């Protein structure tokens, strides 16, 4: 991940007639709802962070790019804190419509598909001008840091077969196990997890939970005996096929081939497909799309096959 402070520094130091700020609240991945929770409960602080960025970067205007499923609701929540230089934009397109350069394309009125990088948004973003693109929680944290109130915590969403689903605020360096323990979400049944989102997140076993929660700080809990791995993979591939932009061949055709392998339950050549997608896809979607499939095949299906031998 690219550190937020470096983005701010690059945009601030860029020599340009105009600069822009984008708060990316597209939140399109399955089982992720952290941004919605933050916007609903800490909207004034998020806007404070956006206005801080406008001031520090000497930017002309800010855009808040909102998930279409809660655009109307959150628009009403944000309305009391909006000024003339902040505009709300309803998300367009599927999952990939939330990638930072796809967001820029959408705000410009174009089809939301990723741009080739470099140049990066900090150099050439909205209408060719330097643009800061950060997520909702980053702007909230910026406001708290500016007030001297930041306490090193972040938000975690827990869903699936979790005993106590919800969004929790805990230390940012917490391990997966600590998050589950502190929120009362250690299952009493045999389980596995998906970390970082319910579409592209990595599958992890209980014995792997001493590592930190990374990515989207999302934890999805699956009851092992009641989860059909093939139906789960079908859910992922359907989501990714619907959510990609169809712009590049490796991602488009790779996901189609993975779908065919799931139908046939034959994964003999899947690693070759994963390699091509990781090495040649245009944007991060094609590169990270392999993560849930590879980790499930290795950690769940391989074990099942071993048990049946």
Which domain does 14 fall in, by range? 4-146
Last residue of a domain, one of 185, 209, 225: 225
pLDDT of 233: 95
Which residue has tokens 């140049």? 119
CB atoms within 10 A of CB 40: 15
Are 266 and 301 contained in the same domain?
yes
pLDDT in tens, 24-41: 999 988 888 999 999 999
Domain count of the fold of the chain: 3
pLDDT in tens, the chain (309 residues): 577 889 999 999 999 999 999 999 999 888 889 999 999 999 999 999 999 999 999 999 999 999 999 999 999 999 999 999 999 999 987 788 888 999 999 999 998 888 988 999 999 999 999 999 999 999 999 999 999 999 999 999 999 999 999 999 999 989 999 999 999 999 999 999 999 888 889 999 999 999 887 666 899 999 999 999 999 999 999 998 887 777 788 888 889 999 999 999 989 889 998 999 888 888 777 888 899 999 999 999 885 554 444
> Taking a C-beta distance cutoff of 8 angstroms, is the pair 183, 204 a contact?
no
Contacts for 161 with CB less than 8 Å, ≥ 6 apart: 187, 189, 191, 221, 222, 223, 226
pLDDT in tens, 191-242: 999 998 888 899 999 999 998 876 668 999 999 999 999 999 999 999 988 8
Are 219 and 233 contained in the same domain?
no
Are 136 and 13 contained in the same domain?
yes
Packed helices 136-146 and 34-41: angle between N→C axes, nearest 10 degrees: 40
Are 132 and 9 contained in the same domain?
yes
> Taking a C-beta distance cutoff of 8 angstroms, is the pair 19, 58 a contact?
yes
Q: What is the dihedral of CA 84, 114, 130, 53, to 10 degrees?
A: 50
pLDDT of 3: 79
SS (H, E, C) 61-100: EEEEEECCCCHHHHHHHHHHHCCCCEEEEECCCCHHHHCH
Q: What is the dihedral of CA 189, 193, 197, 202, to 10 degrees?
A: -160
Are 93 and 211 contained in the same domain?
no
Are 207 and 173 contained in the same domain?
yes
Q: Give the SS3 label for residue 11.
A: helix
CATH code at 115?
A: 3.40.50.11540
> Taking a C-beta distance cutoff of 8 angstroms, is the pair 287, 277 a contact?
yes
The values of phi and psi at residue 23, to 5°, are: -100, 110
* Reported pTM: 0.92
Contacts for 261 with CB less than 8 Å, ≥ 6 apart: 267, 269, 270, 273
pLDDT of 15: 94
Are 182 and 141 contained in the same domain?
no
Residue 10 CA to chain centroid, in angstroms? 23
CATH code at 171?
A: 3.10.20.600
Q: What is the DSSP letter of 175?
A: B
């Amino acid at each position: 991940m690219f550190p937020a402070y470096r983005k701010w520094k690059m945009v601030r130091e860029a020599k340009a007639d105009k600069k822009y700020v984008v708060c990316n609240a597209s939140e399109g991945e399955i089982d992720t709802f952290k941004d919605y929770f933050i916007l609903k409960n800490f909207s004034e602080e998020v806007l404070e962070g956006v206005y801080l960025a406008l001031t520090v970067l000497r930017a002309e205007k800010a855009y808040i790019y909102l998930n279409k499923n809660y655009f109307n609701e959150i628009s009403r929540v944000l309305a009391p804190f909006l000024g003339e230089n902040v505009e709300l934009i309803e998300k367009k397109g599927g999952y990939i419509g939330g990638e930072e350069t796809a967001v820029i394309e959408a705000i410009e009125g174009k089809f939301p598909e990723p741009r080739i990088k470099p140049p990066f948004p900090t150099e050439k973003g909205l209408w060719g001008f330097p643009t800061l693109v950060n997520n909702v929680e980053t702007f909230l944290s910026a406001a708290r840091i500016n007030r001297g109130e930041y306490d090193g915590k972040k938000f975690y969403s827990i869903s699936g077969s979790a005993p106590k689903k919800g969004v929790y605020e805990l230390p940012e360096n917490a391990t997966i196990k600590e998050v589950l323990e502190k929120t009362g979400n250690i299952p009493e049944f045999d389980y596995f997890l998906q970390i970082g989102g319910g579409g592209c997140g990595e599958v992890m076993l209980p014995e792997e939970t001493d590592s930190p929660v990374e990515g989207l700080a999302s934890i999805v809990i699956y009851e092992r005996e009641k989860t059909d791995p093939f139906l789960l993979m079908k859910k992922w591939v359907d989501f990714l096929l619907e959510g990609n932009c169809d712009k590049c061949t490796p991602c488009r055709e790779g996901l189609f081939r993975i779908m065919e392998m799931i139908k046939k339950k034959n994964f003999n050549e899947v690693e070759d497909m994963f390699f091509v997608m990781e090495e040649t896809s245009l944007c991060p979607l094609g590169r990270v799309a392999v993560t849930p499939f590879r980790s499930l095949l290795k950690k769940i299906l391989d074990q099942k096959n071993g048990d049946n031998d």
